[in-house]
Amino acid sequence: MLTERQLLILQVIIDDFIQTARPVGSRALSKKNSIPYSAATIRNEMADLEDMGYLEKTHLSSGRIPSEQGYRYYVDHMISPVTKFNQDMNVIKNFINDGFFEFEQLVQMSAEVLSELTNYTSIILGPELFETKLKQLQIITLSPNSAVAILVTNTGYVEHRSFSVPAEINPADLEKMVNILNDRLQGVPIVRLPEMFHSEITDLMKAYIHDFDKSYDYLKAAFLQEQPVKLYIGGKSNLLRQPEFNDVDKIRAFYTMIENENEMAHLLKGTSGGIKVTIGHENKADAIKDFSLITASYQLGGDQMGTIALLGPTRMEYRKVITLLDVLSNEMTDALYLWYKNTD
Amino acid sequence: MLTERQLLILQVIIDDFIQTARPVGSRALSKKNSIPYSAATIRNEMADLEDMGYLEKTHLSSGRIPSEQGYRYYVDHMISPVTKFNQDMNVIKNFINDGFFEFEQLVQMSAEVLSELTNYTSIILGPELFETKLKQLQIITLSPNSAVAILVTNTGYVEHRSFSVPAEINPADLEKMVNILNDRLQGVPIVRLPEMFHSEITDLMKAYIHDFDKSYDYLKAAFLQEQPVKLYIGGKSNLLRQPEFNDVDKIRAFYTMIENENEMAHLLKGTSGGIKVTIGHENKADAIKDFSLITASYQLGGDQMGTIALLGPTRMEYRKVITLLDVLSNEMTDALYLWYKNTD
DNA sequence: TTTAGCACTCAAGAGCCTCGAGTGCTAACA
DNA sequence: TGTTAGCACTCGAGGCTCTTGAGTGCTAAA
C-alpha cells in the first residue's frame, strides 16, 4: 500500500512527465510548492516507488519516468472527476447539438474534433449493422447492362453498389424479384439476410422468374457482398508533434500500422460498454506496444453501435482524454437516440 | 544544344541517381560499361552540364545530382516508350479486367495497386458529377421524424443523406413532392439541379403541397447540400521508405499536407487530358516544392471524369510511373466506357 | 525520520581528427 | 584539338574525447 506521501510524489511525477516528456528528478520536484520535502527524502521515496514498480529510470543516473504499471495505477486511482476541461467539453456539446444532418458526417466530425482537442489520433469504428433491420431493397436499372442496387436499413444506413448485368439476365426479372424480396424481408435483421435470402424466398420466386438461378446469383452478389468496415481516423499527423516521435523508424511503424484498416478495426472491436484504457504492452497488437489506446462506445438503445478511440503515446493526458471521451460518447448516444427514436 | 556524349552522361547520371539517391561522381561513372571515357573527361562534361543548369552539386566537392531542369529535360526528351515494365502493366490490366463490381471500389483499388507497384503515394480524385444526369430521387421515411434521401445518377453514383423531419412537416408531403420532382427532373444534369429545383418546379408544387415553404426548404437541404470531394489516397506510408524522408520535419510537412483534402483536390483539379508531370518548384503548392506530381485523367466518353496522380520525391522513377499511369488511365477509361455505355 | 553532503553516473553536445569520395586545374599525350 | 593522368584541395560522415549538468545512492549528522 502506498503512503500519502508516496501517492503525492507519484502523482506529481506522472503529471509532470505527461506535460514535459522529460524524466523528472528529485531536486526539481523538491522545488515545487506542492511538495514540502527535501530532494534527499524524495529520492528515498522514489527509490521505493521504483522498487514497487511504479517508476523507472531511463538510465542509471537519470530522473524517473512512470512505468506502465505507474500509469495503470494513475488511471485507476488518481483520476478524480475533473471539471478542468469544461471548455473543451462545451466544444463537443455544441458541435453535436448544432444539429447534424447525417450519421456518417457526425461520426467523421467527431473524430476530427476529438483529435483537434487532444492532439492525439482519433479512431472511430463505424456502426455495426448487427442489430439493424432491413428497411428497403431497391434496384435501379441504368442501362440494358448495368444497374445499381441499394439497401436501406431502419437506422438510415444506406449501402449501394453498381454492377453490370449480363445479357442473359432480364432486368425486369430482377425488379420483380426485388419487389418480392422487399415485401418479405422488411424488418429482418441485416445479419440474417443471407439465410433468409436463401431459405424462405427462393421457392416463392422460382415460380415467377424465368431463368431463376442466374438472376438469383446476381442479386445475391449485389446485396449480400460483404462491406468493408467503416473506419474514420482523424488527426493522423497530430502524433508527429509529440516528442516521442522524433525517430523516423517509430513514425514508419506507426503509419504502417494505422493504414492497416483491418488490424485497427480488430483492435477496437470487442470493447464493450464504458471507457477502457489500454496502456502500452497491455495492447494485444505488437505495433502499438508503445502506445495507449482509450476506447469508448456509443450506443443506440442499448445495442452497441460503434467505438470511439484515441491513440497516443503512453505518456498521454489520460485525465483529459477520459473526460472528453466520456462526454462525447454520451452526447453521441443521446443524439442518436433522439435521432432514431420511433424507428421501427 | 547538348552533344551526344552530354546526353549520354546526363541520362546515366539521372538514371543512377534515381536508383541510388546518392550524388554520382565522375570516377564511378567512368567505370560503367556504357561510358567509355575517363573520369577527367567526364568531369569536364559534367562541369558544362552544370553550367547549363542540368546538374547540381550538393556541396563544393560532391558528386552531381540532377537539377529540376535536368529532370524536366529527362522527362521531356529521354523517356522513350518502354516495354520494361510489362509485368507491372499486366498487373494493372489483370486487376481491372478481373471485372469490378462497383465504381468506387475500382477507383480505390487502383490507388492501392498503383502505389504498391511504384512505392509512391497515389491520389485519385473521384469522378466529378459535372456531366452526369439525374436518374432518380427518392425519399424513404424511417420514422415519423426521420428520413433518408437518396439521389442516383445515370452513371450509377449514389448519394444519400439521412435527416430528421421536424414535427410540422408531413412525410407524406415530402414523398408527394419527390414524386413530382422525379417526373420532372429525370435526365437533368446534376449541376443544373439547384436552379431547376427553384425555377421550374415550385409553382407546380405550391398548388399541391400544404405548408409548401418548409417542406421545400427541407428537400432542398436534403438533396442539394454540397458533397465533399472524393479523394482516395493510397500508400501514404510508402514515401517513408524513400531515403529523402529521413528527416522528421519533412515527414511532418508531408503528412500535414496530405491530410488537407481540399488542398490536395485543388492541386489535382484543372489538369486536362493526357499525362502531366510537375517537378518540384513547378508545383503551385509550397508544401510539395520538394515533390513531383504526375497526373493522368480517366474519362467517360470524352467528358473528363477524374484524375489519377502519383506523388513522389523529385527523384522519381519517371519512366515507370508515366508508363503505368498511362496504362491505368486507358484501362479505366475503357472499363468505364464498357460499363456505362448505353446509359441514358 | 529527515536532511546535507559527497562521490559517482550518464546523455548530450562541442571540438577534433581521419577517411574516402569527389572536384578543378594543369600539363602531357595522341 | 580533344583526351587523359596527376595532384592539391574540399567536404560530409563517422569515430573519439572532453566537458557539463542533471541526476542518483549512500552515509552520517541533526
CA dist., res. B321 & res. B302, Å (int): 24
Q: How does residue B316 score in pLDDT terms, banded at 50, 70 and 90?
A: very high
Q: Residues 6 or more apart from A27 whose CB is under 8 A from it? A: A39
Cα–Cα distances in Å, from B36 out to B12, B14, B55, B248, B283? 12, 18, 20, 41, 38
Q: Which of A48-62, A101-115, B108-122 has the lowest mean pLDDT?
A: A101-115
Length of chain A: 344
CA dist., res. B139 & res. B181, Å (int): 11
Report pLDDT for B264.
86
Q: Residues 6 or more apart from B339 whose CB is under 8 A from it? A: A146, A164, B103
pLDDT in tens, A222-252: 777 766 677 888 888 888 888 888 878 788 8
Specify the fold of A86-126+229-340. Beta-Lactamase (3.30.450)
Q: Where are the domains of chain A?
A: 4-77, 86-126+229-340, 134-224
Bigger pLDDT: A103 vs B214: B214
pLDDT in tens, B113-160: 999 999 999 998 877 665 678 899 998 888 777 788 899 888 778 888
Report pLDDT for B341.
61
CB contact under 8 A, B142 and A158: no
Q: Please give the class, per CATH, of domain B134-224.
A: alpha beta
Q: What is the mean pLDDT of residues B263-285?
A: 85
Q: Give the residue from chain A lying closest to B153, CA to CA.
A: A142
Task: Pick the closest to residue B228 from B156, B133, B125 (CA basis).
Answer: B125
CA dist., res. A112 & res. A106, Å (int): 10
Name the residue with cell 435527416. Answer: B163
Answer yes or no: is pLDDT of A80 > 90: no
Q: Is A197 left (phi over 0), alpha (psi -120 to 50) or beta?
A: alpha
CA dist., res. A342 & res. A322, Å (int): 31
The CATH architecture annotation of domain B4-77 reads Orthogonal Bundle (1.10)
Q: Measured between CB atoms, does B227 come within 8 Å of chain A?
A: no
A24 touches strand D (CB under 7 A): yes
Q: What is the mean pLDDT of residues A199-207?
A: 71
Report pLDDT for B270.
66
Choose among A142, A221, A225: nearest Cβ to B135: A142
Answer yes or no: is pLDDT of B236 > 90: no
Q: How does residue A197 score in pLDDT terms, banded at 50, 70 and 90?
A: confident
Q: How does residue B18 score in pLDDT terms, banded at 50, 70 and 90?
A: very high
Q: What is the mean pLDDT of residues A104-114?
A: 84
pLDDT in tens, B48-58: 999 999 999 99
CA dist., res. B197 & res. B180, Å (int): 11
A215 phi, psi to nearest 5 deg? -60, -40
Query: Taking a C-beta distance cutoff of 8 angstroms, is the pair B236, B257 a contact?
Result: no
CA dist., res. B333 & res. B344, Å (int): 18
Which range of B11-15, B104-108, B186-190 scores highest in mean pLDDT? It is: B11-15
Query: Taking a C-beta distance cutoff of 8 angstroms, is the pair A231, A104 a contact?
Result: no
Percentage of residues in chain B having pLDDT higher than 70? 90
Query: Taking a C-beta distance cutoff of 8 angstroms, is the pair A296, A329 a contact?
Result: yes
DSSP string, A40-89: HHHHHHHHHHHHHTSEEESSTTS-EEE-HHHHHHHHHHS-----TTHHHH
User: For chain A, how big is the Rg over CA atoms in Å?
Assistant: 26
Q: Which of A133-147, A179-193, A201-215, B304-318 has the lowest mean pLDDT?
A: A201-215
Decide if B86-126+230-340 and B134-224 have a common fold.
no
Bigger pLDDT: B170 vs B25: B25
Query: Taking a C-beta distance cutoff of 8 angstroms, is the pair A20, A27 a contact?
Result: no
Q: Measured between CB atoms, does A186 come within 8 Å of chain B?
A: no
What is the grid cell recorded at B229? Answer: 470531394
Report pLDDT for A227.
67
Which range of A205-209, A326-330, B205-209 scores highest in mean pLDDT? It is: A326-330
Cα B167 to its chain centre, rounded Å, is 44
Percentage of residues in chain A having pLDDT higher than 90? 33
Q: What is the mean pLDDT of residues B212-232?
A: 77
The rounded mean pLDDT for chain A is: 85
Q: Best interface-test mutation with B: which of A142, A249, A250, A264 has the largest number of B CBs within 10 A?
A: A142
Identity of the amino acid at B228: P
DSSP string, A125-163: EPPPSTT-BEEEEEEEEEETTEEEEEEEETTS-EEEEEE
Cα–Cα distances in Å, from B178 out to B137, B138, B155, B166, B186? 7, 6, 20, 17, 11
| Helix boundaries (H) for B119-241 | 171-185, 193-196, 202-208, 212-224
Element (H, E) at A324: helix A318-340
A305 phi, psi to nearest 5 deg? -115, -45
> Which option is the CATH number for B86-126+230-340: 3.40.50.1370, 3.40.50.10800, 3.40.50.720, 3.30.450.40?
3.30.450.40
Choose among A146, A237, A339: nearest Cβ to B259: A237
Q: What is the mean pLDDT of residues A271-275?
A: 75
Question: Which bases in strand D are touched by protein, i.e. have an atom under 7 Å from a CB?
Answer: 3-6, 9-12, 22-27
